[in-house]
């Protein structure tokens, strides 16, 4: 048989678990709400990018190529590192 102290300890542990579960659920819901805001913003950004590309295909190609070239140069320099022969 469980003693009163053991029953009290079990009750405290159960209450602690319920509190943690409740807190975790609240934080999850807050995070989900924040992510929905960011998702909506990202969707708007990608929609506006798609519209810009449709309206200005030559400019978009030049901008995209320039960004790709710039990133390629930067990555190449970083991967090369400090090896100097």
b/e burial code for range 15-45 (CB count within 10 A of at least 16 → b): eeeeeeeeeeeeeeeeeeeeeeeeeeeeeee
This prediction's pTM: 0.47
Location of structure tokens 């295909």:
57
**What gap in Å lies between CA 47 and CA 41, rounded to an integer?**
10
Location of structure tokens 């590309």:
53
pLDDT of residue 18: 93
pLDDT tens, N- to C-terminus, the chain (85 residues)? 678 888 889 899 999 999 999 999 999 999 999 999 899 899 999 999 999 999 999 999 999 999 999 999 999 999 887 666 5
């Amino acid at each position: 048989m469980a003693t009163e102290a053991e029953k009290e300890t079990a009750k405290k542990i159960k209450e602690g678990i319920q509190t943690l579960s409740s807190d975790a659920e609240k934080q999850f819901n807050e995070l989900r709400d924040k992510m929905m805001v960011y998702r909506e913003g990202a969707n708007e950004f990608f929609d506006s990018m798609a519209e810009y590309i449709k309206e200005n295909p030559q400019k978009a190609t030049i901008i995209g190529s320039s960004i790709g070239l710039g990133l390629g140069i930067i990555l190449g320099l970083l991967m090369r590192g400090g090896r100097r022969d």
